[in-house]
Structure 1
């Protein structure tokens, strides 16, 4: 079932058990725009069935927030203009060259081109896929793009991100809503989960320049500005005490600077920033 954020914005909540991220729908007077196409054709079909229950203008655009498989593998199901930034497009090109039969999928997992989770979702949600080919995006932008849906403007921007190098956010000014995709999360490199420390403050600056009151995230669904402020403070506070790959030094620094032990979130973030130092070294 779609969640109604306002008279013109809806979203399908994330489902962590089967790696389905939040999908968004923004409606203008003339057209509608979708944010992320889902982790499989079945995910996209489920979303489209929910949209059909609403009396909204036709879907003209689909925006992909970044080129991680769970956000774009449903792309073929939409009869709409698919929009990506240029870096996302380059990554999707690799997936367009893939074959999706079982043997090929297993080879991609073995060579770390695809996760085992991705393979399992594809095998479950795409039973007839031997001839499947991912289609090409239709519109490629570099830094920013503004879409007018009819008295409803959506601002697309490629921003710095601790999650991926190709992150796009979508801001709807009159609603004070921003779709962040996964940009505010960390990432995993060499089996280590980490936040890219050098990009943390530039990313927060990029996001906070928008006058947003509600934030749609890929794997939390929705947060208000108070929740996001807490998240930014905990991330920043944790980052400030990590200056090397020593967890012990970071924890000692945190206690000295804050006169308390870190809470569970802060401890998780501190470990992630320490991992970033380990990876960088």
Structure 2
């Protein structure tokens, strides 16, 4: 079921048990724009069925926030202009060359080109897999792109991110709403979950320059400004105390600087930044 954020913005909530991220819909007076196409044709079709129940202009654009499979494998279902940044396009080219039969999928999983959950979703949610080929995006932008849906402006920007190097955010100025995709999350490298410490402050700066009051995230659905500020504060406080690969030193520094123990979120972030120090030291 679609959630209504305003008269012109709706979203389909994430379903983490099915590896389904948040999908967005923004409507102007002439056209509508979709944010992320879902993790499979079935996910995309479920979204389109929900949109059919709304009185909105036709979908003209689909914006992919980044090239992780759960955000783009449904894009063939949309009769619309697919928009990505240049680096997202380069990564997606690899997926356009893949085969989706069982033998090929197992080969990709064994080679760590794909995880087991991705294979399972493809096997259950993509019909006619033997002939399935991911289509190419239609519009490729470098840094920023502005789209007018008819008295409704959407600003697309590729930003620095602790999650991927190809993150696109979408800002709707008159609504003070921003779709972040997964850009504010960490990532996993060599089986270690981490936040890219060097990109944390540049990323926050890229996001906070927009006057946003509501934030749509890939796997939390929606946060208000106060919730995002708390998230940024906990992340930055955790990052500031991590200066080496020693978790013990980081926790002790946190206690000295804040005069308290870290809460559960801060401890999680501290461990993630320590992991990043380990990865950078390799």
Tell me if TM exceeds 0.5. yes
The answer as to 2:270 corresponding to 1:273 is no
Q: Which residue of 1 aligns with 2:204?
A: 204
Partner SS state of residue 130, structure 1: helix
The answer as to 2:201 corresponding to 1:167 is no
Partner SS state of residue 129, structure 2: coil
The 5-angstrom pairing of residues 131-146 of structure 1 reads 131-146=131-146
Q: Which residue of 1 aligns with 2:119?
A: 119
User: Distance between the aligned counterparts of 2:213 and 2:261, measured in 1?
Assistant: 30
Question: Once the two structures are superposed, what CA deviation does each residue of 1:42-68 show, in whole Å capped at 9, x if it has no partner?
Answer: 000000000000000000000000000
The 5-angstrom pairing of residues 251-270 of structure 1 reads 251-270=251-270
The Cα shift of 1:128 comes to 2.1
User: Distance between the aligned counterparts of 2:73 and 2:99, measured in 1?
Assistant: 13
The Cα shift of 1:126 comes to 1.5
Q: TM-score, normalised by structure 2?
A: 0.99
Q: TM-score, normalised by structure 1?
A: 1.00
User: Distance between the aligned counterparts of 1:50 and 1:189, measured in 2?
Assistant: 36
Q: Which residue of 2 aligns with 1:57?
A: 57
Structure 2: which 5+ residue stretches go unaligned?
Answer: none
Q: Which residue of 2 aligns with 1:27?
A: 27
User: Distance between the aligned counterparts of 1:276 and 1:231, measured in 2?
Assistant: 19
User: Distance between the aligned counterparts of 1:126 and 1:32, measured in 2?
Assistant: 25
Question: Once the two structures are superposed, what CA deviation does each residue of 1:244-274 show, in whole Å capped at 9, x if it has no partner?
Answer: 0100000000000000000000000000000
Runs of 4+ in 1 over 4 A off after TM superposition: none
User: Distance between the aligned counterparts of 1:8 and 1:109, measured in 2?
Assistant: 40
User: Distance between the aligned counterparts of 1:248 and 1:184, measured in 2?
Assistant: 26
Partner SS state of residue 188, structure 2: strand
The Cα shift of 1:127 comes to 3.8
Q: How many residues are aligned here?
A: 281
What CA RMSD, in Å, does the superposition of the two structures yield over aligned residues?
0.4
The Cα shift of 1:16 comes to 0.5
Question: Once the two structures are superposed, what CA deviation does each residue of 1:84-138 show, in whole Å capped at 9, x if it has no partner?
Answer: 0000000000000000000000000011111111001101111421000000000
User: Distance between the aligned counterparts of 1:39 and 1:192, measured in 2?
Assistant: 24
